[in-house]
Copies of this chain bind each other. A is one copy, B any other.
Amino acid sequence: MATGHLTIDLGALVQNWRTLDAMTACETAAVVKANGYGLGATRVADALAQAGARQFFVATAEEGAVLRRSLGPEPFIGIFSGHMEGDTPLLRDNDLTPMLNSVDQVLRHVESLPGRACGVQLDTGMNRLGLEPQDWSALREIVVGLGPTLVMSHLACADESDHQMNLQQLQTFREMTEGLSAPRSLAATGGLLLGRYFHFDLTRPGVGLYGGMPYEDALQTVHLTLPVIQTRVVEPGETVGYSNTWTAPVPSRIATVSAGYADGILRAAGNGLTLFSGGVPCPVRGRISMDLITVDITALPEDPPHLSLLGGGNTVDTLADAAGTIGYEILTSLGARYERTYTA
């Protein structure tokens, strides 16, 4: 078979959640949007629910409906995109709690789902989601009257622990929520790591659960091996791959492995990427193609049946560095063609 094998370590995931939970005195939710950061939202959420997580967040009502079917009626499921036009039946039928982001969304919720749970998202400076301060001032009475389950905001620069923006947003959030009795939440993984002033009543870790920075001590949750289709020796002066971007400087043994950018191995990684075999680094040569990668295995004593792309020397963040991106994108890009195994 020419299918890569992705092993997802739910035990490591649960341990990451527990460790992050133990860093705070407040509740710890789990963000499982984008199909659980690529790992499978229902598998991830089921494992975390068994470990004690009671609050989950996704991006859209459609994601929430899938999660509700898997988690059963008890856990809280919050929707970051709030109450969009057309969402009403999904929110109602699946007991989802929208984080209302705008005047339009507040009015829509009041009119279409009176008495049903909601939260509210405030913009404290990121200018992406949430009520602006002036809209919040105008609507605060109405929203408080709805008995919001949560009042939340999101940090723009939490992955940079000394960024002035964090304190600025913290201050704005405190001012905007002063005197409220509703539970408050400001921190995702990065914010959680910034310390107790950022914790409030609930943290919402996402990437830290899955083993990505900025949570340096996270356990890796994904291991990916790719089968070798064939190997060959290329002589000095021979080129490898599309557009002849790599020329062999010395006789080199090249393995062609079965995976490519169609599997979420970002083409931008190109020559900066290294695979591993038993800890020995094997650098990519030439361009990543749609379904194939050519790798220099000259350093290996014999031809390997497969090479490791994640877990055998790479983390999601070393892979991200090679592609000029962040670990989050490596995770959410994990391909649909891989055979997936979950370990407890």
| A→B interface (CB under 8 Å) | 1-3, 33-35, 37-38, 59-63, 80-82, 84-87, 90, 101-102, 104-105, 123, 125-129, 132, 156-157, 159-160, 165, 227, 229-232, 234, 238-244, 254, 256, 258, 261-262, 264, 266-268, 286, 289-292, 294, 305, 324-326, 328-329, 332-333, 336-337
A303 vs chain B, min Cβ distance (A):
9
Cβ-defined contact, B127 with A267, below 8 A: no
Select from chain B the residue with minimum beta-carbon distance to A303. Answer: B104
Q: Which residues on the B side are within 8 Å of A267 (C-beta)?
A: 325-326, 329
Q: How far is the CA of A62 from the CA of B242 in the complex (A)?
A: 25
Q: How far is the CA of A195 from the CA of B268 in the complex (A)?
A: 31
Cβ-defined contact, B1 with A87, below 8 A: yes
Q: How far is the CA of A241 from the CA of B129 in the complex (A)?
A: 9
Main secondary structure of the interface of A (DSSP, over half): loop
Q: Which residues on the B side are within 8 Å of A286 (C-beta)?
A: 127-128
Instruction: Add 15 more A-B contacts to A34-B291, A126-B241 (CB < 8 A).
Output: A1-B84, A59-B291, A81-B229, A82-B230, A84-B229, A102-B230, A125-B239, A127-B238, A128-B256, A128-B289, A129-B292, A157-B244, A262-B332, A267-B326, A333-B333
Q: Which residues on the B side are within 8 Å of A104 (C-beta)?
A: 230
Q: Which residues on the B side are within 8 Å of A34 (C-beta)?
A: 262, 290-291, 337
Cβ-defined contact, B229 with A332, below 8 A: no
Q: Which 10 A-B pairs have the closest CB atoms?
A: A34-B262, A2-B81, A262-B332, A102-B230, A59-B291, A2-B60, A1-B86, A127-B240, A2-B84, A261-B329
Cβ-defined contact, A230 with B62, below 8 A: no
Select A234's contact among B127, B230, B241, B268, beta carbons within 8 Å.
B127
Q: Which residues on the B side are within 8 Å of A125 (C-beta)?
A: 238-239
Given the interface pairs A81-B258, A84-B2, A243-B156, the reply to whether A128 lies near B294 with Cβ below 8 Å is yes
A205 vs chain B, min Cβ distance (A):
14
Cβ-defined contact, B258 with A60, below 8 A: yes
Cβ-defined contact, A157 with B243, below 8 A: yes
Given the interface pairs A60-B1, A268-B325, the reply to whether A84 lies near B227 with Cβ below 8 Å is yes
Q: Which residues on the B side are within 8 Å of A62 (C-beta)?
A: 1-3, 337
Q: Which residues on the B side are within 8 Å of A229 (C-beta)?
A: 81-82, 84, 101-102, 129
Given the interface pairs A34-B262, A60-B337, A267-B325, the reply to whether A127 lies near B241 with Cβ below 8 Å is yes
